[in-house]
């Protein structure tokens, strides 16, 4: 049973426009959420995170929004650049009874930013 | 150089052989992880370690063995390789298990092919 879902395997966006990557989760005990970016033949790199006590976190062109009631988070990239073309993974963790507390990853969304 | 390194980057082995993937980190992070990435599955946790001599199973541990005699090293051994273990393997480390500071830093990956 997937606890972290990225329902869009791919997304194509024009350079300069906004990219919105979505992620849904099922476990209400998750309290920390992260986004990773992965280029081919490289390891994932940490991009941005958000704690469940916040609903928004911004870092330059990247903003993550968290909607706890909907169990949904999104990553906004504005403006999108060709160098943003990569696979983006959503991940979640929680420190609750029975949990190992480890990150649980979604399957990823491949973003293509076209010049 | 500071960081997390994996070796080898590429490995081809035969079914039934034992193979060990190496992972070394220079940050003195307490937590280390092994993930595998497969098409359609995203990143799945194999084993993790909270400190030297403390290891525990993740989501897909069968067929794998780990050890952690030193904080900086976390080798992953496939005792008798099978074709289903053909995958890209990522090692990662983090300072904490959950919350801020739990952002995992990944190595470049090892592409393992079992023939």
DSSP three-state, residue A84 = helix
pLDDT tens-place string over residues B29-86: 999 999 999 988 889 999 999 999 999 999 899 999 999 999 999 999 999 999 999 9
User: Any CB–CB contact under 8 A between B69 and chain A?
Assistant: no
Find residues 76-105 of chain A whose CB sits inside 8 Å of chain B: 89, 93-95, 100-105
pLDDT tens-place string over residues A46-96: 999 999 999 999 999 999 999 999 999 999 999 999 999 999 999 998 876
Find residues 31-60 of chain B whose CB sits inside 8 Å of chain A: 33, 35, 40-45, 48, 56, 58
A55 vs A69: CA distance, rounded Å? 11
pLDDT tens-place string over residues A7-47: 999 999 999 999 999 999 999 989 899 999 999 999 999 99
B112 vs B44: CA distance, rounded Å? 15
Chain B residue with minimum CA distance to A95: B98
Chain B residue with minimum CA distance to A89: B42
Residue that has been written with the tokens 């993550």 in this structure: A64
B21 vs B9: CA distance, rounded Å? 9
The answer to whether the Cβ–Cβ distance between B42 and A108 falls below 8 Å is yes
The answer to whether the Cβ–Cβ distance between B108 and A42 falls below 8 Å is yes
Residue that has been written with the tokens 């005699």 in this structure: B69
């Amino acid at each position: 049973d997937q606890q972290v879902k990225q329902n869009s395997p791919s997304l194509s966006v024009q350079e300069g426009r906004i990219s919105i990557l979505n992620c849904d989760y099922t476990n209400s005990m998750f309290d920390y959420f992260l986004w990773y970016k992965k280029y081919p033949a490289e390891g994932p790199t940490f991009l941005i995170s958000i704690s469940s006590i916040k609903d928004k976190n911004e870092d330059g062109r990247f903003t993550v929004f968290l909607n706890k009631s909907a169990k949904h988070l999104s990553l906004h990239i504005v403006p999108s650049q060709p160098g943003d073309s990569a696979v983006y993974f959503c991940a979640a963790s929680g420190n609750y009874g029975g949990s190992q507390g480890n990150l649980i990853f979604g399957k990823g969304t491949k973003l293509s930013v076209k010049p | 150089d500071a960081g997390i390194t994996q070796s080898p980057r590429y490995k081809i082995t035969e079914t039934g052989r034992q193979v060990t993937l190496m992972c070394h980190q220079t940050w003195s992070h307490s937590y280390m992880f092994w993930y595998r990435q497969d098409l359609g599955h995203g990143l799945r946790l194999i084993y993790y370690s909270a400190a030297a001599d403390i290891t525990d199973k993740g989501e897909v541990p069968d067929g794998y063995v780990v050890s952690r005699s030193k904080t900086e090293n976390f080798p992953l051994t496939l005792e008798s390789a099978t074709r289903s273990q053909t995958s890209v393997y990522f090692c990662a480390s983090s300072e904490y298990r959950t919350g801020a500071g739990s952002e995992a830093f990944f190595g470049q990956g090892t592409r393992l092919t079992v023939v």
